[in-house]
Amino acid sequence: METGGPTVEQARRLVTEIPGPRSRALHERRLAAVASGVGSVLPVYVAAAGGGVVVDVDGNSLIDLASGIAVTTVGNSAPAVVARVQEQVAAFTHTCFMVAPYEGYVEVCEALAELTPGDHHKKAALFNSGAEAVENAVKIARVAPGRDAVVVFDHGYHGRTNLTMAMTAKNMPYKQGFGPFAGEVYRAPMSYPLRDGLTGAEAAARAIDVIDKQVGASNVACVVVEPVLGEGGFIVPAPGFLPAVADWCRERGILYVADEIQSGMCRTGAWFASEHEGVVPDLVTVAKGVAGGLPLAAVVGRAEVVDAPHAGGLGGTYGGNPVACAAALGAIEEMREHDLVARATAIGERLTARLTALAAEHPVVTEVRGRGAMQAIELCVPGTTEPDAARTAAVSAWCHAQGVLTLTCGTWGNVVRFLPPLAIGDDLLDEALDVVAEAFAATA
């Protein structure tokens, strides 16, 4: 299936070095005008994108294995997104839902209530970014029980605002120098099968013990966990870890919040990654893939929990902007129409097969892991679990030079992650993986 914008040919083609002269000229302007704290993985400046391809201003076509960090799940400028956005942008661009509401916001909340795990009565509130959704999930979780503590996990990533920096594990580049951070945020050990060798039950017992002894269950408002860790290294917790944590939360009156900002909306071969282990969260945070590239985020969950804040207690000028809502309805339409849950599973199988073969050939590839179209390889010094960030960077840079847009992640920067748009064709995906294999041979 190739649902890319009709004008974007689905092929990799390099016509200049990467980055080319036009990108380099734009980069010069950028260096003078844009804050240097804002980085770019690959400074090719984009002219168009669709399906599995990004076209730069020099006319180079790159294969997209990043989806703008798991956002363009339905592909860039997917037809249903474009159609609905065009219609909405011509009708009205903004009224503020808190001033004069509109149907699109309601429809997005209805759709998310239906798509998130569990068939209980759910409600939602809409925001602009993932970090804002996490902030609001914590506000909602704290208000009813009058408890303050928020528990997060090692290797977790939740955003760059003050509260979500506190919740994010990794110091550089996210937190260094930006404190002091919000209080009452506590970190528990995560299940990381490659590094701890624990079963899910053992890892959950270890985490629960830390929470119990260091925080006290009766002080905890919520536990916030990514069912597949994103920035932290695409870590899939050992089977049973998430259900055990969720069960313990329920027994103790603690809200279980799944941060599905990266793992949600078809990415892992399920609408939400919590489903893989039958976990029904009290609250789910949603962003990234939900709106096909427009900024939209949501907190979705049990109606009685979401309704805990007083009237007027939640909001924001742009939250649930009508154009972003139209984009979300278009993206959800694409997901349903093209069965992108199944497509993510198929892409995952293809990725796993190729990456497993790669690992057999290159012992630096210590583990292949992930769910669906959220796959990664962790690189370590062969025979050890000592992270090899240098090789990871070299492999990724080689891919970029050959026109394949890869991303890295992980606490030690030693993970290459694969997040293709689900609109990518098999041929293009195979070609990208050929390049990845060549990158390992070339950097050996």
Nearer to ligand PLZ, 77 or 129 (CB): 129
Q: Examine residue 131 and tell whether it contacts ligand PLZ (CB under 6 A).
A: yes
In angstroms, the Cα distances linking 267 to 16, 264, 288, 412 are: 33, 6, 10, 24
CB closer to ligand PLZ, 56 vs 226: 226
**What mask of x and - would describe binding to ligand PLZ in positions 273 to 292, judged by CB under 6 A?**
--------------x-----
Q: Is 158 in the site for ligand PLZ (CB under 6 A)?
A: yes
Pick the stretch among 114-122, 216-224, 225-233, 268-276 that binds ligand PLZ (CB under 6 A).
Answer: 225-233
Which residue in 64, 154, 231, 334 binds ligand PLZ (CB under 6 A)?
231
**In the bound complex, what is the minimum distance in angstroms from residue 46's beta carbon to ligand PLZ?**
17
Nearer to ligand PLZ, 67 or 88 (CB): 67
Q: How far is CA 303 from the centre of its chain?
A: 25
Minimal CA–CA distance to 24: which of 38, 37, 43?
Answer: 43
Pick the closest to residue 412 from 195, 199, 238 (CA basis).
195
Question: Does 225 participate in binding ligand PLZ (rule CB under 6 A)?
Answer: no
DSSP-assigned letter for residue 286: E
**Structure token digits, residue 111:** 């759709």
Query: Environment class of residue 194 by beta-carbon count within 10 Å: exposed (0-12), middle (13-18) or buried (19+)?
Result: middle
Instruction: Indicate the residue among 23 and 262 with the shorter CB distance to ligand PLZ.
Output: 262
Among 4, 19, 117, 230, contact with ligand PLZ (rule: CB under 6 A): 230
Tell me how many residues contact ligand PLZ (CB under 6 A): 16
- Interface residue with ligand PLZ among 129, 136, 321, 411 (CB under 6 A) is 129
**Which of 92, 104, 154, 172 is CA-nearest to residue 332?**
104
Rounded CA Rg of the chain:
21
Q: Are 370 and 353 in contact (CB under 8 A)?
A: no
CB of residue 167 vs ligand PLZ: minimum separation in angstroms? 9
Which single residue brings its beta carbon nearest to ligand PLZ?
A: 130
392: left (phi over 0), alpha (psi -120 to 50) or beta: alpha
**Can you read off the two tokens belonging to residue 258?**
């799944």
**Amino acid at residue number 62:** L
CB closer to ligand PLZ, 186 vs 440: 186
> Using the rule CB under 6 A, is 157 a contact of ligand PLZ?
yes
Q: Where on the chain is the footprint of ligand PLZ (CB under 6 A)?
A: 69, 129-131, 134, 157-160, 226, 230-231, 259, 261-262, 287
